[in-house]
Amino acid sequence: MTAEQDARGFASKAIHAGQAFDPTTGAVIPPVHFSTTFAQDGIGGLRQGYEYGRSGNPTRTALQTQLAAIEGGAHAFSFSSGLAAEDTLLRAALAPGDEVLMGNDVYGGTHRLVAKVLAAWGIGLRVTDMSDLDAVREALEDKPVKVLWVETPSNPLLRVTDIAGLAALGHEAGALVVVDNTFATPALQQPLALGADVVVHSTTKYLGGHSDVVGGALVLNDDALAEKVGFLQFAVGAISGPLDAWLTTRGIKTLDVRMQRHSENAQAVAEYLEGHPKVSRVYYPGLPSHPGHELAARQMSGFGGIVSLALESGEAARRFSESTRLFQLAESLGGVESLLNYPDEMTHASVRGTEAAVPVEVVRLSVGIESVDDLLADLDRALGEV
Ligand SMILES: *Cc1c(COP(=O)(O)O)cnc(C)c1O
């Protein structure tokens, strides 16, 4: 990036980084490159380093440039899914015998990846409440930790962790500090600037933003770690395909305005739910009643689109989950359309009975960018059926 490009605001970077017009035709939107292989000018004479689709593709390069720019990192890598990105990072950072310390309400699949897959290769896992820095300090003193893994706000309980505080603790203990920034997105929160070493994304969610492409990403500054990650991206091969990369790039261009509207709608939904007699608790960092509200207000530039709520019982939560119409009952989050998820049996079924289990009374909403009155009316009607 030139100094002028680097000085641009977030929305300008999201729209322009990696998106220079096509030099041969002037096409303002760069073409999608489907070619799996690239002609060589004599043996080894590569044009701009492109050789074979797994090692590099111009459409993927464009996305990676855009991702690095919006997260403020030196290196970005895009993958076929969020979990593929996580797996590649953990294999690059860990060796048998190493330990990972993870938040106790991380995405269920992240917990499963370490507990059920990497465990067989000798990786240890402990979990703690990352929003409690004293608990983290104790856990770090207890036993050496190689990777400290946090999601903030967390999924689905929206706990807020002090990234700068956690990074300081982690670095003191010699750990790599990883932040899954899927929920907040770089439009609202910039973990690298707060001291984290690596940002992880499921781009399937807000970055793609339209529930039509699965993908993942890593963004980091350290050159040596980037070399390892780049080697594994190539050697293991969980790359994003050209059309997936292009859809993700297109989504990111509107990330800034989408996150503003997601946050506005979610705030209205959270305030409505907080006043409803059938709702026993609302989890949303934008509410002054949320224990992480002040920290979130400092660390984030908006509170995001995810709202969780607790009803009186598991049965009430299930009934409510099956009663909304505009909020569709489906896994995933971060699309323009509103979704409702019942974590205990859906996204977090894999962590039932573990330390990362979600209470049965909890329902998670991914508040979309529809007209807010329609969203409130849908929730009101569904709560009437509980
Ligand atoms: C969905 C999700 C993941 C996993 O990403 P996939 O793209 O589904 O592989 C990781 N972290 C968080 C916070 C997620 O929401």
User: 243-264 pLDDT, tens per residue?
Assistant: 999 999 999 999 999 999 999 9
**Residue 12 parent element (H or E):** helix 10-16
Instruction: Give tens-digit pLDDT for 33-61.
Output: 999 999 999 999 999 999 999 999 999 99
Q: Of the given ranges (7-11, 107-111, 132-136, 222-226), which has the lowest mean pLDDT?
A: 107-111
Confidence of residue 164 (pLDDT cuts 50, 70, 90): very high
What's the CATH number for 256-384?
3.90.1150.10
To the question of domain 3-252 being in CATH 3.10.129.10, the answer is no
Query: Residue 114 pLDDT more than 80?
Result: yes
- Residue 100 half-sphere exposure toward CB, CA atoms < 13 A: 29
Confidence of residue 69 (pLDDT cuts 50, 70, 90): very high
- Over range 209-220, report the average pLDDT: 98
**Integer Cα distance of 369 and 371 in angstroms:** 7
- Over range 374-381, report the average pLDDT: 98
Cα 105 to averaged position of ligand 1 atoms, centre (Å): 13
The answer to whether the beta carbons of residues 309 and 359 sit under 8 Å apart is: no
Q: In the prediction, which pLDDT does 353 show?
A: 83
Q: Of the given ranges (50-54, 84-88, 304-308, 342-346), which has the lowest mean pLDDT?
A: 342-346
* Residue 107 bears catalytic tag: yes
> Which percentage of the chain shows pLDDT scores above 70?
100
Q: Which of 54, 137, 281, 319 is catalytic?
A: 54
Cα 93 to averaged position of ligand 1 atoms, centre (Å): 19
User: Of all atoms in ligand 1, which is nearest to the CA of residue 85?
Assistant: 9
* Residue 228 bears catalytic tag: no
**Integer Cα distance of 250 and 297 in angstroms:** 29
> Which of 79, 106, 107, 218 to mutate for ligand 1's pocket (most ligand atoms within 8 Å of CB)?
107
Written as six digits, the tokens of 122 are: 């000798």
Confidence of residue 351 (pLDDT cuts 50, 70, 90): confident
Q: Determine if residue 174 is left, alpha or beta; phi over 0 gives left, psi from -120 to 50 gives alpha, anything else beta.
A: left
Instruction: Give tens-digit pLDDT for 186-200.
Output: 999 999 999 999 999
DSSP per-residue codes, 199-253: EEEETTTTTT-SS----EEEEE--HHHHHHHHHHHHHH--BPPHHHHHHHHHHHH
Whether the full predicted model's pTM is greater than 0.75, yes or no, is: yes
**Residue closest by Cα to atom 7 of ligand 1:** 82
Query: Residue 126 pLDDT more than 80?
Result: yes
> What is the CB neighbour count within 10 angstroms for residue 357?
17
Q: Of the given ranges (49-63, 104-118, 364-378), which has the lowest mean pLDDT?
A: 104-118
Domain ranges of the chain: 3-252, 256-384
**Residue closest by Cα to atom 12 of ligand 1:** 107
Ligand 1 — pocket residues by CB below 6 A?
Answer: 81-83, 107, 109-110, 151, 155, 180, 182-183, 202, 204-205, 214, 216
Average pLDDT, the chain: 96
Strands of the sheet with 339-341, listed across from one edge:
281-283, 306-310, 362-366, 339-341, 328-329
Query: Residue 349 pLDDT more than 90?
Result: no
